[in-house]
């Protein structure tokens, strides 16, 4: 692993156009559970049981219970050394984009600016009737929150399975992936599209790609660098020479 890190540091220190994609693994050391793993995500539900428009239509109170649990949990945690290291990287690189699949807001809290939250943000709600989006940082939104403007049922303003990403957002994410010299993939299982294809789009355009994860993923075999270990330990090592 040591040799991999030193070679990767040389790549990063020279790179002018860097794109990073993060997933739930970067927030794991903050205490936010990842989506996939033994025992399911919440109670005995799998993420695909509670993060779909069909599940919300069937039982909005259950889905709000899940999101209230997440709101409460995430309100009690903070960013970690991995998030901070990406803020350092952003300061060092001319053309930098951080694409995250996470809705926890921890990258923004840490200070990342050039950020694309492609799956939305947990703290935003959207009216299912009039479509208005508002920010609400309540730890508990109640059983079935409604819109103050029109009385419609509110839903979390996040992307669920089967829903399309914001076209402008995904356009920017694809552009950042196709135009970078180096792409770093951190803490994602690499199985949810379209995020999972971004590293391949970068590589197809000639970028070097690297993965940081505590375990092998379906993408590991395609990487130029694979650094195995916790993001909160490896990312700070990558940026330690910047200051």
Binding residues for ligand OAD, rule: CB under 6 A, are: 23-25, 28-29, 34-36, 47, 51, 101, 119, 159-161, 187-189, 192, 212-215, 217, 230-231
CB nearer to ligand OAD: give 45 or 161. Answer: 161
From the CB of 182, what's the least distance to ligand OAD, in Å? 18
Return the exposure string of 28-54: e unless at least 16 CB atoms fall within 10 Å of the residue's CB, then b. Answer: bbbebebbeeeeebbeeeebebbbbee
CB nearer to ligand OAD: give 161 or 242. Answer: 161
From the CB of 121, what's the least distance to ligand OAD, in Å? 12
From the CB of 24, what's the least distance to ligand OAD, in Å? 3
119 is catalytic: yes
Which residue's C-beta sits nearest to ligand OAD? 25
Given a contact cutoff of 8 angstroms between Cβ atoms, the answer to whether 225 and 73 are in contact is no
Q: Which of 83, 92, 107, 119 is catalytic?
A: 119
**Cα dihedral sign for 148, 150, 151, 153?**
negative
CB nearer to ligand OAD: give 23 or 145. Answer: 23
Residue carrying the six token digits 């505590």: 214
In the structure encoding, which two tokens stand for residue 111, read together?
Answer: 């200070």
Given a contact cutoff of 8 angstroms between Cβ atoms, the answer to whether 20 and 176 are in contact is no
Q: Which residues are catalytic?
A: 119
């Amino acid at each position: 692993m040591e040799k991999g890190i030193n070679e990767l540091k040389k790549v990063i220190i020279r790179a002018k156009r860097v794109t990073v994609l993060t997933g739930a693994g970067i927030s794991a050391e903050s205490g936010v559970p990842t989506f996939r793993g033994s025992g399911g995500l919440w109670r005995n539900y799998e993420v695909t049981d509670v993060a779909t428009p069909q599940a919300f239509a069937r039982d909005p109170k259950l889905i709000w219970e899940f999101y209230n649990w997440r709101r409460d949990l995430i309100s009690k945690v903070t960013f970690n050394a991995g998030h901070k290291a990406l803020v350092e990287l952003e300061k060092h690189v001319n053309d930098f984009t951080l694409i995250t699949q996470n809705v926890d807001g921890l990258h923004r809290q840490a200070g990342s600016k050039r950020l694309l939250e492609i799956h939305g943000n947990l703290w935003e709600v959207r009216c299912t009737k009039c479509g208005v989006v508002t920010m609400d940082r309540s730890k508990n939104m109640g059983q079935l929150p409604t819109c103050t403007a029109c009385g419609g049922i509110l839903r979390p303003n996040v992307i669920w399975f089967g829903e399309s990403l914001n076209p402008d957002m995904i356009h920017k994410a694809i552009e950042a992936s196709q135009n970078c010299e180096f792409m770093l993939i951190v803490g994602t299982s690499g199985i949810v599209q379209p995020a999972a294809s971004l590293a391949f789009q970068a590589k197809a355009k000639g970028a070097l790609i690297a993965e940081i994860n505590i375990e092998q993923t379906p993408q590991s075999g395609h990487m130029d660098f694979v650094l195995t270990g916790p993001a909160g330990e490896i990312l700070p090592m990558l940026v330690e020479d910047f200051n």
